Amino acid sequence: MEPCKFENRIIEMATNVESTKTQLTALDKRINGSFEKISKHVSDGNKWRMAIIGIVFAIIVQGVAFAYNYGKQSKTLEYLEKIVTERE
C-alpha cells in the first residue's frame, strides 16, 4: 500500500483544529466572565438606576421649560398683535 499523498496536509489541519479549539475555549471563558460581570453590575449597581432617574428628571425639566417659554412667547405675540391692530 502506498502512503497517502495528503498526509502532511491532514496533520497540519488537525493541528489547526486543536489550536482553534483552544482559542474557542479561551474566548468562551472570557465571554462568560464578561456576562457574569455585566449581570452582577445590573443586579447590584445603583448607578444605572440613578442615571435613569436623572434622565427622567432632565426630560421633565425640559418639558416645563418648553411650556413656560411657549406661554411667554404666546403672550408677547398677543401683545404685539394688539398693538398692530390698534395702530391700523
- Per-residue pLDDT of the chain (88 residues), as tens digits, is 677 888 888 888 888 888 888 888 877 777 777 767 777 777 777 787 888 999 999 999 999 999 999 999 999 999 999 999 988 7
Cα dihedral 48, 63, 65, 59 in deg (nearest 10)? 10
What pTM, to 2 d.p., does this model score? 0.46
Which residues have C-beta within 8 Å of that of residue 41, sequence separation ≥ 6? 48
